[in-house]
Amino acid sequence: MDESNGTNRKRAGDEDVFYGYLNSSSAELDGNVKLEEMEPLTKAQDDGNLNGNNNISLTSKIPNGSKKCEDFEEILEVVGSQGRFQKILLYAVLCPIVTVSPFLVLNTVFMWDVPDHSCHVPGRDPDMSIEEWKNLTLPWELGPDQQWRHSQCKMFENVTSGKEIKCQFGWDFDKTDYESTIPSEYEWVCDNDFYATDCFTWGSFGSAIGTILFGIMADKYGRKPTFFMACFVNVLFKTVSLFLAHRYMVYKTLQFLGGFAFPALFSMPALISAEVSGTTYRSWIYAVTWMIWVVGNSLIPFVAMVCRTWFIFGCVAAVPGFFLFLYIWMVDESPRWLISVDKTERAIQIILKIARTNGKQVDPDVIDRMVQELAAKQKKEAEGQNFGVWTLFSKFQLAKNTVMLITAWTMNALLYYGVTLNSTHMAGNTFVNYFLLSIIELPGGWLAGKLVETTGRRWTQAAFFLLCTLSCLLCAVAVAYPNSSVIVIIGALGIKFGVTVASLVVYLQGTEIFPTMLRSTGSGLASTVSSCVGIFGPYIVYSGTVHVSFPYAILCVCSFIGLLAATCLPETFRQPLPESIQDANKFGKGQKFWSYLPQQQESGSDVKKKGSMCEKF
């Protein structure tokens, strides 16, 4: 022990590296900040000055005088929490994966689109225009927009009779946007017009089941194998379904099986990246993830417009999925998860890799000790406890947070997919509408990444739920009037912009509210519930066949419910990730409803920061 500075000295290569803490808990920094423990300092740094500009975190001390690692955030402070490793993982691995994900999930929006149609009546004279022939052979009906149109499902028995009958000779479909879609090729219209809605519903039901299965897999077998299994499931069943679309029940079943994979395709890569990053960088990870998703999603309408036929488009959309498997050698397992399941040796290897990539010189023995201490701490806390979904409801505060998060998550999902699926029912060009509703997410994702680090998570989400509520109300009123398509599109853009910000916040909260051993299970539960409720999403859009205002009116109610749930969640701004059930149950305690940003807490403890103590992010 070097008594002059109160640190333990350990030889690491050719330079001295100092680990430990100032023995006196009353040692002061800049006259007003107390130190208990310091991060590794090189000899040069120590000789230069020890004035508190180094990374500092409060940890508990064990009797022998060495520091005790309380949570994974302290390990990240040593090896780097937003260095080169995190940036490579985000930009070189996560971004390409997320870019192709929309093609695997949302291609059916165009494949299942129902073009404008009417009964095919043979016998038209070549000299007679199509409109004149329709006036002779088709009755008029009041559409869901309360405007008169030619009937889509009925025809006159003959040109001299006024008797209306069902279409007898098939349908004529508008080919302005598509040469063919699955509904136009296999006649999913009129008596079968619910087929596309049912396929969306079965896919949502598959997602609900899949989030349970893949959520359990992620916590039991790891994030990495879960992600690549999800890729395999999606690519397999979605590709096979292209060749069996003519067999409706088989096709619908394949959509159910392919739907298993969706939540994991999006959440697992982001979760792996978030779990090896610091508190500030986590919000940026989710912002970038969302913006890259937008880039991929914005490309879908252009690919669909060029392909024009559903089968070619489906094949083109499936191809990128096969390239995802190339990343199996580039993605590492989450060391945070490895520690939580006591696989410390592998965790240490990955942590040292992070340090090397970030250019940090660390002593492997110190990393080993910190990992073992953290694993022992988590193991001790888990003794005698059987963790599962029910554990999230075992304590009042944790249960309340779980319920509110699930509610906000579910309302976000309903809003997002409701307005996305409804884009093909809006007036104007289908591809342009979809592109506008996609690209608006780009500034939304960027703004969300900035706001969550300035205005926090809670009130940011509440404010944009309010925007969604007002925008839905605008659309519900305007859509019932003719020549109001511009106003409706502006309102829909407001919905999409608002839900973009709110969704990014709720995904971020999902990684910050749940404890490590149940983080994927908790997020999976929220995603499962949202998928179960999302089963009704396609029917919300389908209600527009009764009256065009109904979908927006229902989404307005959903937005308001999400607003209430968002305000009841605790603020998690720059709080350490909870490692245990006890840590997770502390979130929100002591926070007043009208409070803004809470006082920051130290990793692994309830100790509040004092004075002007610096923290590296």
pLDDT digits (tens, 9 = 90+) for 427-438: 778 899 899 988
Q: In this structure, what are the phi and psi dihedrals at residue 164, rounded to the nearest 5 degrees?
A: -95, 135
Residue with tokens 């009779």: 161
What is the average pLDDT score of the chain?
Answer: 79
| Res 306 pLDDT > 90 | yes
* CB neighbour burial string for 494-505, b if at least 16 within 10 angstroms, e if fewer: bbbbbbbbbbbb
**pLDDT confidence of residue 592:** 63
Average pLDDT, stretch 408-433?
Answer: 86
For residue 256, the model assigns a pLDDT of 92
Q: How would residue 440 be classed by pLDDT, with cut points 50, 70 and 90?
A: confident
Q: How far apart are CA 337 and CA 379, in angstroms?
A: 13
In the predicted model, is pLDDT for residue 284 greater than 70?
yes
Q: What is the pLDDT of residue 36?
A: 34
Predicted confidence band of residue 503 (pLDDT cuts 50, 70, 90) = confident
The closest of 170, 162, 156, 159 to 120, measured between CA atoms, is: 170
Q: Identify the pLDDT of residue 50.
A: 35
Q: Are residues 457 and 408 in contact, defined by beta-carbon separation less than 8 angstroms?
A: no
Determine which of 322-331, 386-395, 576-585, 601-610 has the lowest per-residue pLDDT on average.
Answer: 601-610
**Beta strands 117-119 and 154-156: pairing type?**
unpaired
In the predicted model, is pLDDT for residue 185 greater than 70? Answer: yes
Provide mean pLDDT across the span 342-367. Answer: 90
Report the pLDDT averaged over residues 49-61. 36
Three-state secondary-structure class, residue 4:
coil
> Which residues partner with 541 through β-bridges?
none
User: Tokens 């000790």 identify what position?
Assistant: 369
Single-letter residue type at 486 = V
Write down the pLDDT at residue 568: 84
- Look at 448 and 178; give whichever has higher pLDDT: 178
Q: Report, as an integer, the average pLDDT of 467-475.
A: 93
Q: Which helix (H) or strand (E) holds 523?
A: helix 519-534
> In the predicted model, is pLDDT for residue 177 greater than 50?
yes
> What does residue 398 show for φ and ψ, rounded to 5 degrees?
-65, -40
* Of residues 381 and 512, more confidently modeled: 512
Q: Are 501 and 563 in contact (CB under 8 A)?
A: no
Q: What is the DSSP-derived secondary structure letter of residue 599?
A: P
Mean pLDDT of 335-340: 88
CA gap 404, 397 in Å, rounded: 11
Output b/e per residue, 507-544; b: 16+ Cβ within 10 A. bbbbbbbbbbbbbbbbbbbbbbbbbbbbbebbebbbbb
* pLDDT at position 180: 92
Q: What is the pLDDT of residue 65?
A: 40
> How far, in Å, CA of 582 to CA of 261, rounded?
32
Token pair recorded at residue 530:
């949202």
Instruction: Kindly indicate the confidence band of residue 394, based on its pLDDT and cuts at 50, 70 and 90.
Output: confident
Identify the pLDDT of residue 250: 95
Q: How many CB atoms lie within 10 A of CB 64?
A: 6
Q: What are phi and psi of 470, to 5 degrees?
A: -65, -40
Specify the residue for token string 């149609």. 117
CA distances from 264 to 271, 332, 436, 450 (A): 10, 16, 26, 26
Q: Which amino acid is at 52?
A: G
Q: Is beta strand 38-42 parallel, antiparallel or unpaired with respect to 164-166? A: unpaired
Q: pLDDT at residue 224 above 50?
A: yes
Higher pLDDT, 57 or 434: 434
Residue labelled with tokens 């511009």: 486
In this prediction, residue 41 has a pLDDT band, given cuts at 50, 70 and 90, of: very low
pLDDT(47) > 50? no
Q: How far apart are CA 75 and CA 422, in angstroms?
A: 47
pLDDT of 49 reads 38
Query: If pLDDT is split at 50, 70 and 90, which confidence band does 559 have?
Result: very high
Q: Model confidence at 32, in pLDDT bands (50, 70, 90)?
A: very low
For 142-156, 245-259, 362-376, 593-607, which range has the lowest pLDDT when averaged over its residues? 593-607
Q: One-letter amino acid identity for 216?
A: I
- Per DSSP, the three-state class of 67 is strand
What pLDDT digit, counting tens, does each position of 562-617 carry?
A: 999 988 888 877 777 777 777 777 666 666 666 566 555 544 433 333 332 223 32
Work out the average pLDDT over 382-388: 67
What is residue 589's predicted lDDT score, i.e. its pLDDT?
67
Least confident of 60-69, 190-199, 321-330, 399-408: 60-69
Residue 233 has pLDDT above 80, yes or no: yes
Burial (0-12, 13-18, 19+ Cβ within 10 Å), 389: middle
Distance CA 393, CA 568 (A): 16
State how beta strands 38-42 and 15-20 pair: antiparallel
pLDDT digits (tens, 9 = 90+) for 82-118: 889 999 988 988 888 889 888 988 888 899 988 888 8
The listed range with the strongest mean pLDDT (461-465, 518-522, 539-543) is: 461-465
Q: What is the pLDDT of residue 184?
A: 92
In angstroms, rounded to a whole number, what is the distance separating the alpha carbons of residues 414 and 554?
10
- d(CA 158, CA 222) in angstroms, rounded, equals 66
**Of the ranges 339-353, 470-484, 589-603, which one carries the lowest mean pLDDT score?**
589-603
Task: Give the DSSP per-residue string, 448-470.
Answer: HHHHTTTT-SHHHHHHHHHHHHH
Burial 189-218 (b: 16+ CB within 10 A, else e): beeebebbbbbbbbbbbbbbbbbbbbbbbb
Q: What pLDDT, on a 0 to 100 scale, did the predictor assign at position 288?
A: 84
d(CA 274, CA 574): 13
Q: How many CB atoms lie within 10 A of CB 552?
A: 28
Q: Give CA–CA dist 527/533, Å, rounded.
A: 10
